[in-house]
Chains A and B, each alone.
Chain A
Amino acid sequence: MTQSPSLLRRYVFSTDHKIIGIQFLFTSLAMLLIGGALAMLMRWQLGWPSQPLSWMGQLAPNGMPGGVMVPEYYNMLFTMHGSVMIFFGIIPILVGAFGNYLIPLKIGAPDMAFPRLNMVSYWLMWPAIVIMFLGFFLEGGAAAAGWTSYAPLSVTLGPGQTCWVVSLLFVGTSSIMGSINYITTVINHRAPGMTFFRMPMSIWALFITAIMVLCATPALASSLVMLLLDKTLGTSFFMPSGLIVDGVALAHSGGQPILWQHLFWFYSHPAVYIMILPAMGMISDILPTFARKPLFGYHSMVYAIAAIAVLGFIVWAHHMFVSGMNPALGTSFMVATMVIAVPTGVKIFNWLATLWRGSIRMTVPMAHACAFVAMFLIGGLTGIFLASMPVDMYVHDTYFIVGHLHYVLFGGSLFGAFAGLTYWFPKMFGRMMSERVGKLHLLLTLIFFNGVMFPMFLLGINGMPRRIYDWSQYAHLAHLGPLNRLMSLSAFLLFASQLLFIGNFFWSLFKGKQAPANPWEATTLEWTAAPSPPPHGNFERTPHVYHGPYEYSVPGSSQDWLPQNQAPSDK
């Protein structure tokens, strides 16, 4: 070992995009687990309202004294579940982990354009995580205003809520840094021959996602700063005059609570696409690989993503149809939201058409990709109910929307993440994962996921509001006990099924079969031009690109995949 960088520089404060990607991966997987555990506690309370869970009495003596949950704690649980899953789980795994790992490898670059900025963007996640969870140990507990943190409630809550705001400012800064890096890298560092329309869909998706992050996150950051000022310095961006909270007249005046919602959703609706587009991109790479068939309608897939991104910025007020904003204003947002179903439909139909007349190899990543299509479809279709203003007036803030968002973010984003992870695992770690365990994990996840999420639509139709600590006291909900218990049981089994994945992940990491450079016989550069795992700098010499990313089953050739970097002459 001569003059090699220290272990610390190599594995901890690394500037190698692959190490940073893997750091994001481990962090976000751990956060998904924690966020999931918070949901289990919620499901306990919803399945068996106010039944004691004695061992939790010791773990959280304030939140669950004697094992019986108090309403404040329930509010903290769903707030933290949402915030952790979205900001520390899904966005970091899709954008941080896969974005970092895949972009340079798939465009034939040795690293990111700004490796140090990249490193900082990862390390900013840690203060964010620490500060967010710090809330649990402060007086009054963690943030409890929901992941949407609507003012004035969020302004009136205690230090835990302030932690939430500060934490998200770190996340936002990290996102902005990451996105600048991705955009620059994709524009400037593509290998010779890698034209924009030879880029794999995952790169298109991450590129467009990065543009969305760059446009939307500053809106979040500025509204967070305003909220922070309202909370700490007594400004009144979101606080009208005459408020009386807990019998105390507040000194604020002149603000507007709905302004927070406009600013928040101006970020958070695009954030939904930030959480789904990368998954869509990865699915678009995985389906052709295992169908051994070119992606159907590559160009329209690119335009569909671009259309979703553009439309994604003009639909935010569909979250606000009943917010008290002018009812006439809703119309334009309803139309834009309905229209966004069109490019989304194009993507689903093109995926189906990719499978049509393929030669399908049902591997674990492929099975996850198909589960993604099947489940995301439900998320997409139920979105149409929410786009229709009169229907939304009824189902808004009920379990219907909780079901919808979980079909998009679990059925979509997380099945996409599982697909991507099982697909690129051999490249990342040089070992194969167990197919058998992987398939069992998928099957169980799929069953229990539907067992917990599908009944949510029924609860919503019955008029059960979300964020309700105890639904059992309401006359119109009294008959929903069995359904709620079924959901809770499914949730516990869903959580337990993830142990299979964790076991498979770590077992394969150390004991898995050695992975060849291109185990899936894929066409893109990370498989065809670099070993598994790729060394620092990725490629021995810069690859030259001659073909599109999905040249499978080209007639007249013996092997059914044509690497992007295979020169036409050496056929």
Chain B
Amino acid sequence: MCWARRLVGSSAVRNFKALLLTAYCLVLGADPAWAGSARVWFPDNLSSVGSQVDQMFLVILWITGIIFLLVEGALLWFLIRYRQPANPRAAYVHGCRSAEVIWTVIPAIIVTSLAFASQRVWAHIRGTPPAHQLEVEITAEQFAWNVRYAGPDGRLHTEDDLELINQLHLPVDQVALVHLKSKDVIHSFFVPQFRMKLDAVPGLTGRLWVQPIKPGQVEMVCAELCGLGHYRMRGYVTIESAEAFQSWLEQTRVEQSL
């Protein structure tokens, strides 16, 4: 790659590179938050299935990461090793059956196993839900989340239901079954810390179960473009102990009946 050397060596480019580097560093360094900020990676996991999602992600990251390094490495190596000055005459080769079989079969095995592994996790998360202790109905609308809990009769859509806006409380360790609806356009229920997402489609009722594993205060995000207020369609998720949840439920019920 003599051109690269010549290019890198030329003074105009050297100056430009210096300028560039300075500009980049300015942006990075000018922000004191950068150095001390939270790590730029997955948010905390708060659901029973989140670790499986993360694990699947990491497995794929390792596999694709290794392939990435091998291929990019080979590409660079070939470009340097077989540049014209180093190798004036190319080989006259049209292909190699066995090599081609190898790089067809091995990727096929890898992706099929990934599909099987993914299917197992998926079936666990989105298959038949386990027995639930709590039912919640979430109805999305432009641009809010309406959350409905059953009253003392334990059934949704009766007189004594509890209705809240943008407030979702869940007891830790209990399985909650979420019924997801929409009044107007498509929204998407997304709690990053649960690693879960499901569209709220008008005319359909989505079903999702979640079992929080740690108490915490997080946000739910609308992940499907739903109009001009899409960006501020934010709800608050509170995960608390079963007792705290019960007393919150009682208290809110009293407040609403006033």
Contacts and interface: CB of A to CB of B under 8 A. Distances in A.
A286 B64 CA distance: 27
A72 B228 contact: yes
A47 to B, nearest CB: 9
A486 B24 contact: yes
Given A322-B188, A470-B232, A481-B33, A349 B197 contact: no
Interface string A363-391: 00000001001100110011011011111
Contacts of A384: 60, 63-64, 111, 114
A145 B230 CA distance: 11
Contact of B201 (A257, A300, A327, A463): A257
B119 interface: yes
Given A462-B40, A485-B27, A489-B27, 9 more contacts: A152-B184, A241-B203, A357-B87, A359-B82, A370-B79, A377-B68, A385-B61, A390-B122, A396-B223
A531 interface: no
Contacts of B230: 71, 75, 467-469
A168 to B, nearest CB: 18
B112 A390 contact: no
B202 interface: yes
B41 A359 contact: no
Given A355-B75, A358-B78, A475-B218, A381 B37 contact: no
Nearest to B76: A374
B79 A355 contact: yes
Interface string B22-50: 01100110010110011011110000010
Interface string B128-143: 0000000000000110
A361 interface: yes
Interface string A311-337: 000000000001110010011001100
18 contacts: A243-B202, A244-B184, A255-B203, A296-B95, A322-B197, A322-B199, A330-B122, A339-B108, A352-B78, A362-B2, A384-B63, A384-B64, A390-B125, A391-B57, A394-B53, A475-B218, A476-B192, A485-B27
Given A355-B78, A390-B53, A393-B197, A382 B64 contact: yes
B154 interface: no
Interface string A407-448: 000000000000000000000000000011001100100010
B234 interface: yes
Top 5 nearest A-B pairs (CB, nearest first) are A240-B203, A463-B192, A327-B126, A357-B91, A338-B111
Interface size band for B: 35 or more
B118 A153 contact: no
B52 interface: yes
Contact of A397 (B1, B184, B203, B223): B223
Given A71-B228, A345-B107, A486-B28, A152 B93 contact: no
Most-contacted residue by chain A among B33, B114, B224 (CB, 10 A): B224
Interface string B195-221: 111111111101000000000001101
A162 to B, nearest CB: 17
A360 B40 CA distance: 40
A374 B90 CA distance: 22
Interface in B158-190: 180, 183-186, 188, 190
Contacts of A341: 107, 111
A458 interface: yes
A552 B90 contact: yes
Contacts of A74: 231
Contact of B28 (A256, A345, A461, A482): A482
Contact of B186 (A150, A295, A373): A150
A470 B64 contact: no
A353 interface: yes
A257 B224 CA distance: 13
Nearest to A471: B231
Contacts of A324: 180, 198-201, 204, 206
A84 interface: no
A391 B118 contact: yes
Contacts of B68: 377-378, 381
A553 interface: yes
Contacts of A481: 31, 33
Nearest to B40: A458
A539 B80 CA distance: 39
Contact of B60 (A246, A391, A397): A391
Contacts of B4: 362, 439
A356 interface: yes
B183 A244 contact: yes
B160 to A, nearest CB: 24
B1 to A, nearest CB: 6
B72 interface: yes
Interface in A443-495: 443, 447, 451, 458, 461-463, 465, 467-471, 473-476, 479-483, 485-486, 489, 493
A356 B60 contact: no
A21 interface: no
A298 interface: yes
B203 A256 contact: yes
Contacts of A293: 90-93
Most-contacted residue by chain B among A71, A334, A465, A552 (CB, 10 A): A465
A370 B91 CA distance: 19
A245 interface: yes
Most-contacted residue by chain B among A292, A296, A390 (CB, 10 A): A390
B42 A150 contact: no
B7 interface: yes
Contacts of B141: 244
Given A296-B95, A385-B57, A361 B84 contact: yes
Nearest to A381: B64
Contacts of A358: 78, 82, 87, 90-91
A321 B198 CA distance: 9
Contacts of A473: 232, 234
A483 to B, nearest CB: 6
Contacts of A519: none
A245 B142 contact: yes
